[in-house]
Structure 1
Amino acid sequence: MRIRRTSWTIWRVAWSLLRKADLVVVSWFIARPVFHAAVVTAYLMQKEHLSAAAALKSLRRISPGVHPNDGFMEQLAIFESMGNKIDRDSSSYKKFKVKFLGESFAKGEVMESSSYASDPGSATVKLPAPSNTIESGTERSTVYRCKKCRRVVARDENVIGHDVGGGESAFKWQKRGGKEGMYTQAPVCTSMFVEPMQWMTAVEEGVVEGKLQCVKCEARLGNFNWSGMQCSCGAWVTPAFQLHKSRMDAAYF
């Protein structure tokens, strides 16, 4: 069996064939050899329970010229962090997906609604009754509702974490006469960043930046910018889909 595809579909085609076959002969095309190398490396990682480095080392015993580029090495590192499987709820996966969407937008590609996360406030999504108590040994989940009309606008799994920035010192270029060491307050995130969701009508319009409004009452919940924006903690997030915590209520279940 030979895999002779050079488009992006090599990931789906090759992975499907590799999982079903005991022996696969991969043709290393000059046009896109890195596709093949990355797919086979990921297969070895899952099949043999190897790290990305160990899988590449094993593959290079057969094909010394294998050198996946930096982009594929990043994806293999994410694959390894997910336990050598695709975990769409993983924060690493979500960060990569949002980054990929941002790069696609920058290239002028048309962003389809199906590329975005489903609407957590949709009638088809059922939520358990909220609870204000924490049972021993149980993990609570959180839903975020518009403070004005109570519509669900996000859930825990929609939140994209980021490294805390330098606090006020990150904004000192805006402060006239600011001095080094004058900022002593700990960085605080007054907003949270989420993945783009299907209720964000302004995002689907294809503009670079705009407001995020509740689809039910049109209350302003935050902002978005495909080019990125700065969190109140000082960190720069790109692309950014920002919801202000003061405009929402958190419910636990």
Structure 2
Amino acid sequence: METNEKQQSCSVANSTTRKSNASFNLKSYKVQGTLLREDFDGGPVSLDEITNGLFLGNLSAATNMETLKSFKIKHILTLDTVPLPKHILEATFLTTKFIQIADMPKEDILHNLDQCLDFIGKALQLEQHILVHCYFGVSRSSSVVIAFVMKTHDLDYQQAFDLVKSKRRYVQPNSGFIAQLKLYKRMGCKIDTQYQKYKIYRLRLAGEQVRKVKILPQSFNNLIKPDPSVTQENPEPIVYRCRKCRRILASKSHLLAHQSKSNLNVNANIQISSGDAQTPQQQTTRLLDQIASQMRKASIGSPTDEPQNNTGDEQIFSTCKSIIFVEPIAWMKNISHNTQGRLNCPKCEQKLGNFSWINGCQCPCGEEVSPAFYFIPSKVELSKAVQNVQTTV
């Protein structure tokens, strides 16, 4: 590239231009007892242009007026624990948005991605420059920019990460954010509430909150699904019933399936013809290749990353039926106010299984599910025909 072309990397370091109130103000803290954004020093100004008009940087870049004007920044997206200083927020030439989030793997950045990407997109549609930043410009802000690149360029996580990394070397989302970005991509760069892995992700978030406060926060009340026994206009045709009293307990859509990894049978599923003229070493190599190939097909080959229902020689992993894991459902008593307990049939009081927000359950197949709401298979039965569903008390 020619040296006079527009630079894609625009890192700046200029400690002399930072205001004196950017360093930690211990005296102010002792008097007021609170910390403000002005009380911290984010280090030298640092920002890089990732794509045309989209800058990724640190706090110092977002609080330095000279830098903002120099790079013609008109929009600022802040991902931090506290908002920007007042003089930045009140600047007439700036449009700002603040997302309160810490740089911790268990923090939920996934549910902020849509609004962040919408804010970035609107700024770029206006052909105006936008700065996305966190404290250091390494994890939180880079996660949002990676998500934007994934969505706009139809890239997977690694491809988007490599592109952003090539523009700014200070890029490294924490492990929790990486997992959430990959989930975001699998859902088509949007929130798909019916996607099984998303349901499990939400349950785990709720489990973390229950672990802290011992009750389910109201913000997670939508995790508890309506009682399928109540009259519906279009009831699902396949349901689980109490084996004793036939009370409807769950619809098939409530099922949280997992794959059994304990039924690997090489002799049954992988066969080498006796007529092959191969040495033992060649046969072993071919056997291993077949196992690897079939594991890829059955385990991770699906673009939706959901359990496979392969049959015949290609079935190595199948949906486990040792324990029936389901979503929380409205008839389950006390699940909002207890960390764990029994699940009894709301009609006949027969024990159906257990639940735990904090400990989870290890299935006999070896898979651990947490949080766990589950039925014991011998206590329920699958019904394949539901006609006029009546309210059951």
TM-score (norm 2): 0.50
Answer whether contact 2:343 2:353 (CA < 8 A) is retained.
yes
Matched, 1:29 2:161: no
Between the aligned partners of 2:247 and 2:117, the Cα distance in structure 1 is 40
SS of 1:3's equivalent?
A: strand
Aligned to 1:172: none
Q: What is the CA deviation profile of residues 1-37 of structure 1, one whole-angstrom value per residue up to 9, with x for unaligned ones?
A: 2112421485454133134442562342217852322
- Following TM superposition, by how much is the alpha carbon of 1:71 offset from its aligned partner in structure 2, in angstroms? 0.2
Aligned to 1:162: 258
Between the aligned partners of 1:75 and 1:115, the Cα distance in structure 2 is 20
What do you get for the CA RMSD once the two structures are aligned? Answer: 3.0
Instruction: List structure 1 segments (4+ residues) > 4 angstroms apart after TM superposition.
Output: none
Q: Which amino acid aligns with 2:116?
A: A
Q: Which amino acid aligns with 2:253?
A: E
- Following TM superposition, by how much is the alpha carbon of 1:75 offset from its aligned partner in structure 2, in angstroms? 0.8
Aligned ranges 1:28-177 → 2 under 5 Å: 28-30=133-135, 34-108=139-213, 110-112=215-217, 114-121=221-228, 123=230, 125-128=232-235, 130=237, 142-164=238-260, 166=262
SS of 1:202's equivalent?
A: coil
Unpaired runs of at least 5, structure 1: 131-141, 168-186
Q: Which amino acid aligns with 1:222?
A: G
Matched, 1:236 2:343: no
Change (3 A) 1:56 1:119: same
Between the aligned partners of 2:210 and 2:130, the Cα distance in structure 1 is 36
Change (3 A) 1:79 1:210: same
Q: Which moved more, 1:43-52 or 1:53-62?
A: 53-62
Q: Which moved more, 1:148-157 or 1:237-246?
A: 148-157
Between the aligned partners of 1:62 and 1:40, the Cα distance in structure 2 is 12
- Following TM superposition, by how much is the alpha carbon of 1:190 offset from its aligned partner in structure 2, in angstroms? 3.2
Change (3 A) 1:212 1:239: same
- Following TM superposition, by how much is the alpha carbon of 1:39 offset from its aligned partner in structure 2, in angstroms? 2.0
Aligned to 2:302: none
Q: What is the CA deviation profile of residues 107-155 of structure 1, one whole-angstrom value per residue up to 9, with x for unaligned ones?
A: 336413614232242636444474xxxxxxxxxxx32122344333222
TM-score (norm 1): 0.74
- Following TM superposition, by how much is the alpha carbon of 1:220 offset from its aligned partner in structure 2, in angstroms? 1.9
SS of 1:249's equivalent?
A: strand
Aligned to 1:211: 342
Between the aligned partners of 1:203 and 1:2, the Cα distance in structure 2 is 42
Change (3 A) 1:190 1:4: closer
Change (3 A) 1:31 1:118: farther
Aligned to 2:293: none
Q: Which moved more, 1:60-69 or 1:11-20?
A: 11-20
Q: What is the CA deviation profile of residues 151-184 of structure 1, one whole-angstrom value per residue up to 9, with x for unaligned ones?
A: 33222222222342558xxxxxxxxxxxxxxxxx
Between the aligned partners of 2:247 and 2:135, the Cα distance in structure 1 is 52
Change (3 A) 1:128 1:241: closer
Aligned to 2:76: 2
Match of 2:118 among 11, 16, 19: 16
SS of 2:241's equivalent?
A: strand
- Following TM superposition, by how much is the alpha carbon of 1:45 offset from its aligned partner in structure 2, in angstroms? 1.1
Aligned to 2:355: 224
Between the aligned partners of 2:79 and 2:213, the Cα distance in structure 1 is 25
Unpaired runs of at least 5, structure 2: 1-74, 81-99, 102-110, 264-318, 386-393
Count of matched residue pairs: 223
Q: Which has the higher contact order (CA 8 A, sep 6+)?
A: 1
Change (3 A) 1:13 1:31: farther
Q: Which amino acid aligns with 1:145?
A: R
Between the aligned partners of 2:255 and 2:123, the Cα distance in structure 1 is 38
- Following TM superposition, by how much is the alpha carbon of 1:48 offset from its aligned partner in structure 2, in angstroms? 1.3
Identical counterparts, % of pairs = 29
SS of 1:199's equivalent?
A: coil
Which has the higher Rg, Structure 1 or Structure 2? 2
